[in-house]
Amino acid sequence: MSSPEKKDLAACPVVIVGCGLGGIAAAAALRQGGHSVLVLEQDVLPMQPLPRRGVPQSGQLHNLLTRGQIHMEELLPGFRKRLLAAGAREVPVATGTRVFEFGIAMPSRDLGLRMVCAPRPLIENVARQLLQEDDGVRIRHGVRVAGLDLSPENSVAGVILDSGAHRERVEASLIVDASGFRAEGKQWLEQAGLPVPRVDRRRVSRWYATQEVKRPTSKAFDRSWMIFPTPPRTRSGIISPSGTGSWHVSLSGASGDAPPRSWTDLRAYAETLEVSWIAELLGEGEPVGAPRVFRRPFSTWHRYDLQEEPVVGLLPIGDALMCLDPLLGQGMSVAAWHASILAKILARTNHRSLSAELTKAYLSHAAVACETAWELGEVAVERRASAEMQELGAQLARDPELHRRYVSAWHLTEHADVIRKAFAAIRP
C-alpha cells in the first residue's frame, strides 16, 4: 500500500456510522477538534428514550461506571447533570451499595466512586440531545451503510448508502465505525477485498435475566444490592434503582442453570442465592412485564491494532472494536474511553489532516483501553472458579485502600493487575 496524500479533515465531513453511545461520544470528540460531523444510523431514532432494534440489551438498566462518567462529562459537559435530571439515579460506592462477595458482606465505606443507574435508551437519549445542540453535527437515521468508498491508495474517501431503491455516495474525510456488535467495518473490508483484522474470542458461558420491579415506598431507593457467587456456586444477582419508582433486577447463572421465564420463576431463583437480600426485596415488589433473558456466546476483540497497514481513516469504536461480556457492565464506559482517546490524539497532535499516523495512533491507544477491559474479563473467570479467593474478601474488609483499588479496577480506573497481584498474594 503506498502512502496516501494527506486529506484536509475540514474539507468534507467526518462520517460516523452508528448513533449509539459510542457514535455520540465520537461525534462529540471530533466536534471538540473543530470538525464537521455527519452521523448515519440504520435504525429510525425515537424522539423519546425507547428501546430500538439495533441496540442489544436496549431495554434493560445499565450502570454507567466511573470511567464512563468521567469521559462522557469531558466530551459532553453537563451530561451527568442532565442525565440525573431526566431520572437517572446516582449510587455512591460503597456507602450506597450492599455487596456480598467472596463469601462475606463487604464493608460500607466511601471509595470515592459512583454508579449512575439508568436504562440504556435514557442514557443515549440524553447524550444525543446534548450532541444535537451543536450546529456542527447532523444526524441522518433510517439509512444503511452498504460499504466503503476507497481512494486508489486504499484510504477512506466516503461511504455508500443503500436505501433499497437506490445507492448514494457520501464523501468523508474520516469514517468512525460505531456500528456496535455488528462490527460492520470488518464486512466492508471483506467486500473491498482487503485484509480483515484478527478476532480474539473468549467464550461467555453465562446468561442473565432482567426484570423491572415497582418498589415499595418503604424501601430505600438510591441503593444497589449485589450478590456474587462463592465458588463452586454459579448464581448471582443485582438490584439497582431506575427512574422515579422502580428497580431493575438482573439474575444470572452459568450454562447449567435454568433461566427464569416468569415472575414466579424469578422470585424462586432469587431464593437460591447465597443471601436473602434480593429475594426479600422482590417479595415486596410488583413486576412490570415479564423477565427477558440475554446471552452472548463470545466476547470479541477485533485486533485492528495488529494490522501492519490498516485502512487509513477507518476508526472502529466501542462494540465495533471490542464486544464484551454484558454482565461486567463495561461496554458504554469503554466506548466513551475510546472517544476520549480520539479527542486527546486530535488535540495533542493538532491533526487537521488525515494521515496514516493519526489512524495508527488511535488504534494503538484504543488497544490499551481494550486490553484493560479484556484482562478484567479474564479476572472475572478466575474469580468465579477459585475458592481460594475467599481470603481476598477478608483482606479487602481489613484494608480500605486495597478495597478502593479493587473496586476501582472494576470501574476501569485501575488496571486489572491490581486484582491479579492481590490474588497472587493470597495463593501459596
Percent of the chain with pLDDT over 90: 67
What integer pLDDT is reported at residue 10 of this predicted model? 53
DSSP state letter for 172 = -
Q: Give the model confidence (pLDDT) of 54-67 as tens digits.
A: 776 666 778 899 99
Average pLDDT value for residue range 353-380: 89
What integer pLDDT is reported at residue 287 of this predicted model? 94
Name the nearest CA neighbour of 26 among 370, 353, 346, 360: 346
Q: What is the SS3 assignment for 77?
A: coil
Q: Give the model confidence (pLDDT) of 271-318 as tens digits.
A: 999 999 999 999 888 999 899 998 888 999 999 999 999 999 999 999
Between residues 158 and 9, the one the model is more confident about: 158
pTM of this prediction? Answer: 0.93
Q: Give the model confidence (pLDDT) of 178-222 as tens digits.
A: 999 889 999 999 999 999 999 999 988 889 999 999 987 776 667
Name the nearest CA neighbour of 173 among 25, 335, 36: 36
What integer pLDDT is reported at residue 427 of this predicted model? 63
What integer pLDDT is reported at residue 4 of this predicted model? 42
Average pLDDT value for residue range 322-326: 91
Determine the residue type at 330. Answer: Q
d(CA 415, CA 53): 34
What integer pLDDT is reported at residue 353 of this predicted model? 56
Between the CA of residue 102 and those of 206, 384, 387, what are the distances in Å?
19, 10, 8
* pLDDT higher than threshold 90 for residue 372: yes
DSSP 196-228: ---EEEEE--EEEEEEEEEPPTTS-SS-EEEE-
Q: How buried is residue 357: exposed, middle or buried, by Cβ count under 10 Å (0-12/13-18/19+)?
A: middle
Average pLDDT value for residue range 100-123: 93
Between residues 228 and 217, the one the model is more confident about: 228
CA atoms within 13 A on the CB side of 133: 9
What integer pLDDT is reported at residue 114 of this predicted model? 94
Of 71-85, 145-159, 339-353, least confident by mean pLDDT is 339-353
Q: Give the model confidence (pLDDT) of 17-50 as tens digits.
A: 999 999 999 999 999 988 999 999 999 998 888 7
What confidence tier does 426 reach under pLDDT thresholds 50, 70, 90?
Answer: confident
CB 30 within 8 A of CB 313: no
What integer pLDDT is reported at residue 181 of this predicted model? 87
Q: Domains plus CATH for the chain? A: 7-82+121-202+298-379 (3.50.50.60), 205-295 (3.30.70)
Cell of 85: 435530571
